[in-house]
Amino acid sequence: MAVVTILNEDKKLTDVKEITANLASHGIDYERWTPSHPIADDAPPSAILAAYSREIEDLKTRGGYVTADVIDVSPATPGIDAMLAKFNREHWHDEDEVRFIIAGHGLFHIHTTTGAALAIEVEAGDLIRVPRGTLHWFNLCTDRRIRAIRLFQDTAGWTPQYTESGVDENFLPVCFSAAHLSMAS
Ligand SMILES: [Fe+2]
């Protein structure tokens, strides 16, 4: 289950209905998915995609996504620091950012159009859709692990467009459910 912190109100949301409603008010979709059958979180990508095929096909229809894959990041991933450094500064994409978490943890910060700042910590079972154009940044937690299904409308839109606002430096990337600080640089 995700944990959402409304940073400018110092308010934390842990109830799925409250989280879903709050994020929806900012145009962000949040869902909990369960696999069609029990599956290990280290199963091959094809098996992961098959276990969630109903949800994936539904999202493709709703959002115009054409491809889905599985990304796997762990402390053993070559170049992990350089990879993370691309996403921990405020940016947007010309593409929705859609992630369904299989394993590990991640922390999305959202800079909303009303100026509010949200921290959304995600874990296994969480689906998040951040619409194209939304200002955001992303950190891992200290487990430095995330395995997730990604959906794309057009992978060309996935390139980060940086704001260089520096607003990301105002917020320490704190992961609550894992009870530790992010190690992402
Ligand atoms: Fe992003």
For residue range 126-167, what is the model confidence (pLDDT) as tens digits? 999 999 999 999 999 999 999 999 999 987 878 999 999 999
Question: Residue for token digits 């900012």?
Answer: 26
Distance from Cα 91 to the centre of ligand 1, integer Å: 6
Quick one: which H or E segment has residue 164?
none
Residues with Cβ within 5 Å of ion ligand 1? 97
Distance from Cα 159 to the centre of ligand 1, integer Å: 8
How confident is the model over 11-54, as pLDDT tens digits? 999 999 999 999 999 999 999 999 999 999 999 999 999 999 99
Contacts of 8 by beta carbon, 8 Å cutoff, 6+ apart? 115, 116, 117
Quick one: which H or E segment has residue 13?
strand 11-13
Distance from Cα 37 to the centre of ligand 1, integer Å: 30
Distance from Cα 130 to the centre of ligand 1, integer Å: 8
pTM (two decimals): 0.93
Distance from Cα 15 to the centre of ligand 1, integer Å: 25
Distance from Cα 110 to the centre of ligand 1, integer Å: 10
Taking CA atoms, 106 is separated from 50, 83, 85, 102, in Å, by 23, 14, 14, 11
